[in-house]
Structure 1
Amino acid sequence: MMSETQIHVIARQMVERHGFEAIAQAAQIAQDCERKGDAEDAREWRHIEDAMKMMRGPHQS
């Protein structure tokens, strides 16, 4: 299990490299893990996805 710090480092790196499309990439990786039956990795990727959503901030209308 990754630490909270590791989660946020990975999230920040992904956003820096891919922009906020990285959120969709993390979701896809989580789904792939779920299909393979790897619940722990899926949970970590969902956590990374959530961290990126927090970085993005609230939606503007």
Structure 2
Amino acid sequence: MTLEVQIDDYARRLFSASGDKAEYEAAQKAKECEARGDRGEAEQWRKVREKIRILRGPSMS
């Protein structure tokens, strides 16, 4: 399984489990990884967050 497929799969599962909180959770994970100097993992979490944003779709008002 490629990294992009894994990121997509994880984003879908996180969104399914956490709903609207999923994007925030992914952002927090990216921030934590960045703080401890793990830029590679932080970038993966940013990609997860972007996928979740796409899954959520446009905001309805």
Q: Would the TM-score normalized by the shorter structure come out above 0.5? A: yes
Q: Please tell me the root mean square deviation across aligned C-alpha atoms, in Å.
A: 1.1
* Whole-angstrom distance in 2 between the partners of 1:16 and 1:10: 10
Alignment TM-score, normalising by the size of structure 2: 0.91
Give unmatched runs, 5+ long, in structure 2.
Answer: none
Q: Mark the runs of 5 or more structure 1 residues left unpaired by the alignment.
A: none
- Hey, what does 2:26 align to over in structure 1? 26
Matched AA of 1:28: Q
Which portions of structure 1, spanning 4 or more consecutive aligned residues, are displaced by more than 2 angstroms?
A: none
Quote the Cα distance in structure 2 between the aligned partners of 1:37 and 1:3.
20
Q: What displacement does 1:10 show?
A: 0.1
Aligned length: 60
String of CA shifts for 1:2-23, please: whole Å, max 9, x gaps.
6211111000000111112011
What per-residue deviation string (whole Å, max 9, x for no partner) do you get for residues 30-50 of structure 1?
000000010000000000000
CA contact (8 A) 1:15 1:22 kept: yes
Residue 8 (structure 2) aligns with: 8
Alignment-mate amino acid for residue 54 of structure 1: I
